[in-house]
């Protein structure tokens, strides 16, 4: 079992062992997911990063790319309680959180009893989350941030581990609603699911149109995921890397002198401090996945697009020009130096 804490005076051997166990668990989980999902290794790693961190992931891509299948497969590989909510325009907040129902007691009296909704699970798939109205989308806010649900002035705690893995269709598609900025910010990473290559598509067709079905075995459980997350948080962050994340986050704001030219021209609002927290924690997990107990600048740069793309809000000019936030982030990474100049 991975050690839950990692003290400063831990011996080098035990540290390496803990990192090796972390890496062994992540590789086992990834190998089980690969039995069903072809390609998309970067997507799977990013989703697993959110799960280990105790965060939430937003997957965006056109229908039919296997987003829902990926999350179902991951739930099977992690042996977690799984629930799915299909978001539709007529979905109500109570359909997500649960509601009080009237029932008759053994004494013949009538009393209210809370009927938990599908949010009460370890891994919640919010499928096509941007097809529901903003009122229903906001039902996830408290659960995602506080890990609690409040119904009729009564607060219920969600048992750990708890993750929301949401899928959404591109906003250009008909019948979609933009997610509120406050809800977007609660997703640790926004992961773009790309169309497969021709070779990957051939493998997908072979797996999905044949008679053989790969069975996914449990490679970890909730206790192991919690322990892996605790180990990740114990990874020390070098001062230079922490300062780099701070400079990078500040430079996403157009009113800052360190902002890049594209940020000043096309961005309305930059990243919140929660974005910087996501960068640090995801970078720690990225380092552990590669067998290192130290975080480098490259770890931050690798995770920056997924951690920042949903936290940069474009202005009217940026939207009219069809500017991609990924392009803005790419320029930002070349604009902000690893080490302070001077």
User: Which CATH number fits the domain that encloses residue 69?
Assistant: 3.40.50.300
Do 19 and 42 share a domain, yes or no? yes
Mean pLDDT value across the chain? 85
**Mean pLDDT value of segment 65-74:** 84
Do 288 and 162 share a domain, yes or no? no
Domain CATH code at residue 322 = 1.10.8.80
Q: Which of 234, 263, 297 is the C-terminal boundary of a domain?
A: 234
Burial of 109 (0-12, 13-18, 19+ CB in 10 A): exposed
Phi and psi, residue 322, nearest 5°: 70, 35
Give me the helices (H) in 170-296, please. Answer: 181-184, 198-208, 222-234, 239-250, 261-266, 273-289
Contacts of 90 (CB under 8 A, 6+ apart): none
Q: Which of 210, 234, 258 is the C-terminal boundary of a domain?
A: 234
Position 101 scores a pLDDT of 83
177 close to 134: Cβ distance less than 8 angstroms: yes
Position 174 scores a pLDDT of 61
Helix, coil or strand: residue 124:
strand
Position 309 scores a pLDDT of 94
Residue 283, pLDDT above cutoff 50: yes
**Mean pLDDT value of segment 113-119:** 87
Do 135 and 226 share a domain, yes or no? yes
Position 3 scores a pLDDT of 36
Position 4 scores a pLDDT of 35
As for how many domains the chain has, the answer is 2
Tell me 339's DSSP state: S
Residue 286, pLDDT above cutoff 90: yes
Do 230 and 241 share a domain, yes or no? no
Q: Which of 234, 250, 275 is the C-terminal boundary of a domain?
A: 234
Do 167 and 277 share a domain, yes or no? no
Do 280 and 136 share a domain, yes or no? no
Supply the pTM of this predicted model. Answer: 0.85
Do 18 and 150 share a domain, yes or no? yes
Residue 5, pLDDT above cutoff 80: no
Do 134 and 247 share a domain, yes or no? no
**Cα dist. 51→56, 87, 124 in Å?**
7, 21, 11
Q: What's the domain range around 302?
A: 236-342
What is the C-alpha separation between 309 and 189, in angstroms, rounded? 8
Do 215 and 320 share a domain, yes or no? no
248 close to 229: Cβ distance less than 8 angstroms: no
Write the pLDDT tens digit of every residue in 195-224.
888 887 888 787 777 666 678 888 888 889
Do 223 and 242 share a domain, yes or no? no
Residue 56, pLDDT above cutoff 50: yes
Do 29 and 145 share a domain, yes or no? yes
Do 164 and 212 share a domain, yes or no? yes
Position 211 scores a pLDDT of 66
Sheet strands (E) in the chain? 57-60, 82-86, 98-104, 110-116, 123-127, 148-151, 154-157, 163-168, 189-192, 267-269, 313-314
């Amino acid at each position: 079992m991975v050690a839950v804490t990692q003290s400063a005076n831990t011996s080098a051997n035990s540290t390496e062992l803990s990192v090796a166990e972390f890496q062994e668990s992540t590789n086992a989980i990834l190998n089980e997911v690969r039995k069903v999902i072809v390609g998309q290794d970067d997507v799977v790693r990013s989703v697993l990063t959110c799960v280990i961190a105790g965060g939430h992931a937003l997957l965006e891509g056109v229908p039919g790319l296997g987003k829902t299948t990926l999350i179902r497969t991951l739930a099977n590989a992690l042996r977690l309680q799984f629930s799915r909510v299909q978001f539709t325009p007529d979905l109500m907040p109570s359909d997500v959180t649960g509601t009080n129902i009237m029932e008759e007691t053994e004494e013949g009296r009538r009393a209210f009893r809370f009927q938990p909704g599908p949010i009460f699970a370890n891994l919640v798939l919010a499928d096509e989350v941007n097809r529901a109205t903003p009122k229903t989308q906001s039902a996830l806010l408290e659960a995602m941030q506080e890990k609690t649900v409040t119904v009729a002035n009564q607060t219920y705690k969600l048992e750990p581990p708890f993750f929301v893995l949401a899928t959404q269709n591109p906003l250009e598609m008909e019948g979609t609603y933009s997610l509120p900025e406050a809800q977007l910010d609660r997703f640790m990473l926004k992961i773009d699911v790309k169309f497969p290559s021709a070779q990957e598509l051939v493998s997908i067709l072979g797996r999905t149109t044949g008679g053989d079905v790969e069975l996914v075995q449990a490679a970890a459980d909730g206790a192991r995921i919690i322990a892996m997350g605790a180990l990740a948080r114990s990874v020390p962050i070098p001062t230079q890397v922490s300062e780099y994340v701070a400079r990078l986050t500040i430079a996403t704001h157009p009113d800052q002198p360190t902002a890049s030219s594209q940020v000043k021209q096309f961005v309305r609002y930059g990243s919140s401090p929660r974005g910087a927290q996501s960068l640090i924690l995801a970078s720690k997990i990225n380092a552990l996945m590669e067998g290192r107990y130290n975080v480098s600048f490259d770890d931050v740069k690798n995770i920056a697009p997924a951690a920042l793309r949903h936290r940069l809000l474009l202005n009217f000019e940026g939207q009219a020009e069809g500017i991609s936030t990924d392009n803005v982030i790419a320029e930002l990474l070349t604009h902000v130096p690893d080490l302070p100049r001077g």
